[in-house]
Amino acid sequence: MKVVVTGGCGFIGTNFIRYFIKKHPGYKILNIDKLTYAGNLENLKDFKKRKNYHFVKADICNALFMKKLFKKFKPDAVINFAAETHVDRSITAPSQFMKTNFLGVGTLLNLCLDFGIKGFLQVSTDEVYGSIEKGSFCENSLLTPSSPYAASKAGADGLVMAYHTTYKLPILITRTTNNYGPYQFPEKLIPLVILNALKNKKIPVYGNGMNVRDWIYVEDNCAAIDQVLHKGKIGEIYNIAGKCEKTNIQVIKTLLQILNVDESLITYVKDRPGHDQRYSLSMSKIKKQLGWQPKTSFARGIKKTIDWYQNNKTWLHNTQTGAYRKFYKQYYSKLGLKEK
């Protein structure tokens, strides 16, 4: 099988490619990524020489160039991780979220139609449902997104479903809760707390710290996406939950305790506008239909995550300074390719 993975140099994309190549060594993968501030080519540098893995720098919104890539690679399936993903950035600068997360998905859908793709999997989020006080959202719950990020993802989900209803495009959608693990850019809560704790810097807690997120270890999400791609029912949406709900302050205190860092670093700051109080997903559909459930406990996942960041301080440093871009330039010039 030939699979295009978009956004493969980001957090989940990187973990997914690592998981997927190991699980399916006979598959060919083309990773297409724009390498925004969140995309890091260094993440997959050990795959450079593999014959079944290729990388091309491109923007999913660039229809002409994407068409050339599809024509050359002739993919059977497309998995779309490419997105602008940080809620805070979507509040201060929403336009790029609309472009990549909605129009970019439209570009991919058109290409999938033109090239007769057998499966398009859109990686979506629990944030499309909005906040829930009690109980959990199921796949047919109403979408009430709160942030421009969540709204752009909800819009994309609508577009993906419309291409299935109207054109019979074989699509699948996954909606996942908060992922954590290696390679996550340190603007998101867990790597930010680790980074600041290691540097003895203040840890900003939005509002009263009582907002609830459901945490899933990234490899469990990768396994679920792989199962949905291979066994999911075309045209369907699958929630992927961690079944590990925690308040932000609980998460922060757990991290500080493991890192043996004093809680005095905790600093309560102004709340995020439109801050969702609680996310919660029912995962009974994926469990019943595909037999999937998360395997990694929070205690084990968080230990693995902290170990990874402590053993990869250069990676952390490079994300701060943009030094990985130098690596990208060297890598590309060695291949004799020009930046698109």
- CA 115 → CA 54, 143, 169, distances in Å? 20, 30, 11
Q: Which is nearer to ligand DAU, 272 or 287 (CB)?
A: 272
Nearest residue to 61 via CA among 91, 29, 34, 94: 34
Indicate if 331 belongs to the active site. no
**Positions in 23-82 near ligand NAD (CB under 6 A):** 33-36, 38-39, 59-61, 81-82
Q: Which is nearer to ligand NAD, 21 or 265 (CB)?
A: 21
Indicate if 126 belongs to the active site. yes
**Single residue of 3, 4, 6, 18 touching ligand NAD by CB under 6 A:** 6
Q: Which is nearer to ligand DAU, 16 or 47 (CB)?
A: 16
- CA 197 → CA 13, 26, 55, 85, 95, distances in Å? 26, 42, 34, 23, 33
Least Å from the CB of residue 279 to ligand DAU: 5
**Positions in 79-108 near ligand DAU (CB under 6 A):** 85-87
Catalytic residue, from 53, 129, 149, 309: name it.
149
221 is an interface residue for ligand DAU by CB under 6 A: no
CA dihedral 147, 152, 153, 159 (to 10 degrees): 150
Q: Which is nearer to ligand DAU, 248 or 305 (CB)?
A: 248
User: Cα–Cα distance between 118 and 115 in angstroms, integer?
Assistant: 9
Size of the residue set binding ligand NAD (CB under 6 A): 30
121 is an interface residue for ligand NAD by CB under 6 A: no
Beta bridge partners of 124: 175
Least Å from the CB of residue 84 to ligand NAD: 6
Q: Which residues lie below 8 Å from residue 215, measured CB to CB, with a gap of 6+? A: 177, 178, 179, 180, 242, 244, 245, 246, 251, 298, 301
Interaction pattern, residues 168-207, with ligand NAD; x per rule: CB under 6 A:
--------x-xx-----x----------------------
Backbone phi, psi, residue 60, to 5°: -65, -15
**Positions in 113-152 near ligand DAU (CB under 6 A):** 125-127
User: Cα–Cα distance between 232 and 208 in angstroms, integer?
Assistant: 40
Q: Which residues lie below 8 Å from residue 311, measured CB to CB, with a gap of 6+? A: none
Nearest residue to 237 via CA among 157, 129, 155: 157
Applying CB under 6 A, which residues contact ligand DAU? 85-87, 125-127, 177-178, 188-189, 192, 204-206, 211, 213, 248, 272, 279
Which of the residues are catalytic? 126-127, 149
